[in-house]
Amino acid sequence: MPKALWELKDILRAGGSVEVDARNLATWELKDLARVATEGGGMLIVNNADVKATWELKDIARAGRGRVIFRGLR
């Protein structure tokens, strides 16, 4: 069962790492999750990152300050 955005944020705040699909989330949602990952020390893993433009990935990376992993880039 997919988790709601607030549930993913709670997991990240608790120090957990979360793996999500970039096809299912808007860029603003990914940025928000990345920012929250910095609070708890967890990692945000973004699969299928190639569906987002480079400028979007850079914005997400800036928000996560080293707490984001992009998968699926070609």
With the CA atoms of 52, 14, 62 and 45 taken in that order, what torsion angle do they form, in degrees rounded to the nearest 10? Answer: -30
**What is the residue extent of each domain of the chain?**
20-70
- pLDDT at position 1: 82
- pLDDT at position 12: 98
Q: Is-contact 61 33, C-beta < 8 A?
A: no
Listed as ranges, residues in the chain with pLDDT below 70 are: none
- pTM comes to 0.95
